[in-house]
Chains A and B, each alone.
Chain A
Amino acid sequence: MSNLLNYTLRIADNAMILGQRMSQWCSNGPTLEEDIAMVNISLDLFGQANGFYEYASSVDGTKSADDFAFLRSEREYLNNLIVEQKNGHFGDTIVRNFLFDVYTVLFYTKLGKSKDEILSALGSKSLKEAKYHLRHSSNWLIRLGDGTQESKGKIQKSLNNIWMFTGNLFEMDVLDSEMASAGIGVDNIALKSDWDKKVNEILDKAKLSRPKDAYMQTGSKNGIHTEHLGHLLSEMQYLQRAHPNAKW
């Protein structure tokens, strides 16, 4: 697999998996308004995934966007670990999304300057949506962190539980380094200090404590995932797998 294809799939997979998670909130939101907001976010994410998978398809030359989304197996998926974590309750979702949203705003900002025209265009377009998502998750984090005693307790716990997946966002493997040197990809390590700044700012407003950095989970760049991904994929891919060669 070419560097460009691999790199593009990593981005596409993040959007796809988080999109799938958010679509699971359909008819389950705490208010009807939030149901719409979360489905809206899901739709944005699938739109992003589609854009990146279409590019992957043209880079690859044989597989279609749907082939990449529906016919790759667990170890072939390259998304970051944080996006495959379960929705849990609303607070778990908000925390997961917030930590990822801060990253994607920074990531897409840099990607928008990529020497690869398509990645640059996709990055700029996705950035608008990512900013809107970040506003949504930041404000909810604040409302819940500085809401009732119950909400504060719940959301602090969500934060503590998911923290170990944040380090994975800032890893740079050989592929990342090559892509960054070529001016095509993003230097994740360089994003860390701005990420810290933004996260700390919002946690402060939310009156929450930042968990201590301890062991960080890793492996996504080699397709080593948590057990959650397998279940998510079997549900998502079921129809295509059950009816090979059918057109939908």
Chain B
Amino acid sequence: MKEEKFQARIDAEQKIEPKDWMPDAYRKHLIRQISQHAHSEVIGMQPEGNWVTRAPSLRAKMILLAKIQDEAGHGLYLYSACETLGVSREQLVQQLHDGKAKYSSIFNYPTLNWADMGAVGWLVDGAAIVNQVSLQRTSYGPYSRGMIRICKEESFHQRQGYEIMATMASGTPEQKQMAQDALNRIWWPSIMMFGPHDSDSPRSGNALKWKIKRETNDELRQKFIDKTVQQTEVIGLTIPDPDLKWNKERGHYDFGEINWEEFWNVVKGNGPCNKQRLDHHKKAHSEGKWVRDAARVHQNKKELVTT
């Protein structure tokens, strides 16, 4: 009965808010999805933070810092939305540390040269944008509003990345080589971001029924590839996929098969940076404990200043 009323609201495109009744499975699914999205933003600060102290110009430095700051902010919006479902930030962080919650696999790849900052901004943020635009219409209110906010802020991220790639692709021979190298390494992990084929994705059914997800993995992946091929051609680089070809009948690009063995391997924890990313997060967290404790103890004393 409650379930029927709930589904009717979903079907009528109404938003579900924190105080509304919801099936336990819906709540659990959302907690998992939103928290993993939040963790991804936070872990994503590491591969970019890796190059921020070496950014090659004042402008590049400031833009990259602003981007990373946005990412931290997105993490906070999402943790905030997730907490409305009855879970605390502390629990979410614990789940991340225990390996119970995952984050986007793309961040388990290393950033090896400055061009990676371009490729990540252009492709990884580009893929995220395709996904996030779709999520703006998700059924859970706080998540939807968070996504709308995030999407507004996301557009400069992709442009920042693309501009770096364009500049390097038309720069010195070394710069062009670095740009192509970054593209070669980051292309496939980027399209893996959209997840397995829908036929191999067990949770997709419910996610679509409850309008948590609005489009399938394969639909979103195709959208991204169609957009990006032309952008690559404009800057004179080559996508590392010999099977990439425009299909006139479909009106889309055909592309090669993803290396699913690599995909599942990284998801399972065997990617190049899985251990490093998590260790880094745990270290920052544990090294900061004395600070958080002091702030909490000080909570009841009232000597703070406003000037």
B114 interfacial by beta-carbon distance below 8 Å? yes
Closest-by-CB residue of B relative to A232 is B53
Chain A neighbourhood of B62, CB < 8 A? 43, 46-47, 50
A153-167: CB near B (< 8 Å → 1, else 0) gives 010000000000000
Size category of the B interface is: 35 or more
B293 contacts which of A29, A34, A148, A243 (Cβ < 8 Å)? A148
Chain A neighbourhood of B69, CB < 8 A? 36, 39-40, 43
- Please give the number of chain A residues whose Cβ is less than 8 angstroms from any Cβ of chain B in the complex: 55
The winner among A28, A32, A90, A91 for most chain B CB atoms within 10 A is A32
- Assembled-state Cα–Cα distance A151/B305 (Å): 19
A215 interfacial by beta-carbon distance below 8 Å? no
Q: In the complex, what's the smallest C-beta–C-beta distance from A160 to chain B, in angstroms?
A: 18
| Cβ contact within 8 Å between A70 and B291 | no
Closest-by-CB residue of A relative to B295 is A143
| Cβ contact within 8 Å between A30 and B57 | no
Chain B contact residues: over half helix, strand or loop, or mixed?
A: helix
Q: List 28 A-B contacts (CB under 8 A).
A: A20-B53, A23-B65, A27-B42, A32-B75, A32-B76, A36-B72, A39-B65, A39-B68, A39-B72, A43-B66, A43-B69, A49-B58, A131-B307, A143-B295, A146-B298, A147-B297, A148-B290, A148-B294, A150-B290, A150-B294, A151-B290, A151-B293, A205-B303, A239-B56, A240-B56, A243-B172, A246-B175, A248-B60
Residue numbers of B with Cβ under 8 A of A are: 42, 45-46, 49, 52-62, 65-66, 68-69, 72-73, 75-76, 79, 114, 167, 171-172, 174-175, 280-281, 284-285, 287-295, 297-298, 301, 303-307
Residue numbers of A with Cβ under 8 A of B are: 20, 23-24, 26-36, 39-40, 42-43, 46-47, 49-50, 53, 65-66, 69-70, 89-91, 131, 135, 138-139, 142-144, 146-148, 150-151, 154, 202, 205, 235-236, 238-240, 243, 245-248
